[in-house]
Structure 1
Amino acid sequence: MASALKTAQDRLSAMASSLTGGLVGSEPQFPAFDDLPRVEGEPQGCIWGIFDKDGNKDEVGTINLLTPSVVLAASREIQSGEHVQLDWPLHNVQFPGFNRKEFSQTKIDMMPPLGFKAMDDELYINTQSGSQWDSLKHFAHQATGKYYNGLTHEEATKSDTNGIHNWCERGGIVGRGVLVDWLKWYETTKGEAPSPVSRHEIPVDELEETLKWQGTTTRPGDILIIRSGYVRWHNNAPADVRKAGTQENSVAIGLQGSKKTIRWLYDHHFAAVVGDTVAFEAWPPKFDDGWCLHEWLLVQWGTPIGEMWDLEKLSQTCEQKGRHTFFLTSAPLHVKGGIGSPPGAIAIF
């Protein structure tokens, strides 16, 4: 077994060198899904070790794909200088689900202690209760209890490993964003879209149809962004309907968890994925079938998941511009060991 493990490690090291070399050019070179060396105890398709360097375990994941050459190519998306921020207002989720505390702000008059007129404020934020990035220590593989690159749940509770600070220290998340406006495609070609607060599964075949309809192609290292209608629903719903659909309801629209989805995501080699819905994937996932997207994206590949991003103005701008690609910059909160963060994301055209 030791010999087999050493052979797998050697293959991973060689693959990492090949991948790094490929990224200097126009496209990264990945092995096929079925050709990835097996990682002991993990399903075929796990890429642990590929981004390790100098004997140190990687904590950044597929953000490694955002190399200077990839970012430089993405910068060519900037043509008019128009820009759209993609963060929902922090106070927007009135009734957070999963027993999470809502956002609060305290405004502080600093005149009494300072002797001159000034203001401070203090914020409470649960980083999962609005627009967010999930870090690589947010969600474990439920059967094994492991996070990206083998971090155990016990280790995760006692260390900063896999925290969001790693992305910040690397320079944030910067690259080419691609909006897949599934909602616009669905309503234009099929009629009324499914309820965002139902467990509707969006198949990747429909993402492909949307990309063709938009005239959009993807490339390795892109940041995939899917609009499904959750934010629009929330923006227009009265308080009682919002509460019923969020705090009192634990189901939401999202990408379908399936073998076909996993293969499709792997073959496209996205640096990160984003949605406007609660969990990116249709929630709750089916943990017992092996295709939970959180387990594959965060755990097996180290791919950041963005959730509840406000894509409404972005959709309008893309339609006006006649294109669905743009330069994307995101500056997460620089918190050591951070588990989630507002994205601080801006799309620039």
Structure 2
Amino acid sequence: MADTLKNAQQRLSAVASSITGGLVGAGHQFPAFEDLPKVEGEPQGCLWGFFDKDGKKDEIGTLNLLTASLVTAASREIIDGTHIQLDWPLHNVQFPGFGRKVFSQKKVDLMVSLNFKSMDDELHINTQSGSQWDSLKHFAHQATGKYYNGLTHDEATRTDTNGIHNWCERGGIVGRGVLIDWLSWYEQHKGKAPSAVSRHEIPVEELEATLKWQDTTTRPGDIMIIRSGYVRWHNNASEAERKSGTQENSIAIGMKGCEESVRWLYDHHFAAVAGDTVAFEAWPPKFEEGWCLHEWLLTQWGSPIGEMWDLEKLSAACAEKKRWTFFLTSAPLHVKGGIGSPPGAIAIF
């Protein structure tokens, strides 16, 4: 039975691959990195203007790749109905880094004010202090002070441009998710994994090796997710270790920020990327070298970045099913001009 399901999934995946590859290519003809039109003041490889339509500046970037046809093809990933939410509990980060406030919940007894036997609650969250999406107005190119599609920092502080509400109004984020379980690959092939609270850089060649080991092929428009081990570390760390690793030291494992990584990400044309670590890329970045992935993904291409997603149950399910692709839905908080949001992400097999 397991072999039959696997064979059926492989056939459906092959069909979907042929369908989506053509549709994405037909809808968005991406030039080679070197052939992209030069944008004044920005490095070669900038996509500003690429998704603009009818004279209106685009505000959703590579989410434009998530067309109805691509979503329909991605739905063929659903075979047995297993579903896993990828949000960490909001209270999980005990000591948020970068001076951010701790999550708090106030439970309100309505008997006091309304004489109803009923409850409300009031939440305080910093949207960067747990599982999150970074919007296209979260991080600017540090040298120019500009966000995606030329939004200036001054404009970002006083307008809703590039806010997460644009994602919600288009129906959220829905497509094919791909887990690159680098942590499992590393531990099987190299031994003990590097510390999640070290600035260990994950290179492209190891991501490719992981995909090969999983027998997984990516497609344009995929939502690519890397498991590096940060959430597992945090789940098993002591209170003192958590405080040291998250609040007192702003250092974390992640994808290597370099020219090879930038070109690899561009050539794969992902709709969005995510991971289980603090900043997706190894942090802090080396801004002076010009390959900070936040600047390329969020600023140059308009690609959302998901951070601190809980990939532990997802990893176990993928290993059990021997498939690392799935249907993915994400419903961010619908906040006008939103800068970050819990992902509300669910993987469905």
TM-score, normalised to structure 2, is 0.93
- Residue 186 of structure 2: SS of its match in structure 1? helix
1:241-273: CA deviation from partner (whole Å, max 9, x where unpaired): 100111011110000000000000000000000
Paired with 2:241 and 2:200, the residues of 1 have a C-alpha distance of 18
The answer to whether the 8 Å contact 1:22/1:28 transfers is no
- Residue 247 of structure 2: SS of its match in structure 1? coil
Paired with 2:328 and 2:28, the residues of 1 have a C-alpha distance of 19
Aligned to 1:139: 139
Paired with 2:25 and 2:155, the residues of 1 have a C-alpha distance of 37
What are structure 1's unaligned runs of at least 5 residues?
A: 1-20
- Residue 274 of structure 1: SS of its match in structure 2? strand
- Residue 338 of structure 1: SS of its match in structure 2? coil
Aligned to 1:316: 316
Equivalent residues in 2 for 1:281-292 (5 A)? 281-292=281-292
Is residue 123 of structure 2 the alignment partner of residue 123 of structure 1? Answer: yes
Aligned to 2:218: 218
Aligned to 1:17: none
Paired with 2:149 and 2:162, the residues of 1 have a C-alpha distance of 9
1:1-35: CA deviation from partner (whole Å, max 9, x where unpaired): xxxxxxxxxxxxxxxxxxxx964677853111111
Aligned to 1:3: none
Aligned to 2:77: 77
Paired with 1:22 and 1:142, the residues of 2 have a C-alpha distance of 36
Aligned to 2:35: 35
Cα offset for 1:277? 0.2
Aligned to 2:272: 272
Paired with 2:256 and 2:25, the residues of 1 have a C-alpha distance of 33
Letter of the structure 2 residue corresponding to residue 122 of structure 1: E
Aligned to 2:298: 298
Aligned-residue identity in percent:
81
Cα offset for 1:116? 1.9
Cα offset for 1:115? 1.7
Paired with 2:172 and 2:260, the residues of 1 have a C-alpha distance of 30
CA RMSD of aligned residues (A): 1.2
Letter of the structure 2 residue corresponding to residue 149 of structure 1: N
Aligned residues: 329
The answer to whether the 8 Å contact 1:23/1:29 transfers is no
Cα offset for 1:112? 2.1
What are structure 2's unaligned runs of at least 5 residues?
A: 1-20
Aligned to 2:3: none
The answer to whether the 8 Å contact 2:24/2:220 transfers is no
- Residue 140 of structure 1: SS of its match in structure 2? coil
Paired with 1:322 and 1:96, the residues of 2 have a C-alpha distance of 35
Equivalent residues in 2 for 1:1-349 (5 A)? 23=23, 28-349=28-349
Paired with 1:235 and 1:74, the residues of 2 have a C-alpha distance of 31
1:33-75: CA deviation from partner (whole Å, max 9, x where unpaired): 1111101111110010010011100000100000001101100
The answer to whether the 8 Å contact 1:133/1:342 transfers is yes
The answer to whether the 8 Å contact 1:231/1:276 transfers is yes
- Residue 77 of structure 2: SS of its match in structure 1? coil
The answer to whether the 8 Å contact 2:204/2:264 transfers is yes
Paired with 1:29 and 1:283, the residues of 2 have a C-alpha distance of 33
Structure 1 residues 233 and 27, CA gap change in structure 2 (3 angstroms): farther
Paired with 1:194 and 1:27, the residues of 2 have a C-alpha distance of 41
- Residue 240 of structure 1: SS of its match in structure 2? helix
The answer to whether the 8 Å contact 2:328/2:345 transfers is yes
Letter of the structure 1 residue corresponding to residue 51 of structure 2: F
1:184-222: CA deviation from partner (whole Å, max 9, x where unpaired): 000011100000000000001000000000000000000
The answer to whether the 8 Å contact 1:27/1:220 transfers is no
Paired with 2:46 and 2:23, the residues of 1 have a C-alpha distance of 20
Structure 1 residues 27 and 75, CA gap change in structure 2 (3 angstroms): farther
Letter of the structure 1 residue corresponding to residue 284 of structure 2: P
Cα offset for 1:226? 0.1
1:149-174: CA deviation from partner (whole Å, max 9, x where unpaired): 00000000000000000000000000
The answer to whether the 8 Å contact 2:24/2:65 transfers is no
Letter of the structure 2 residue corresponding to residue 275 of structure 1: G
Aligned to 1:5: none
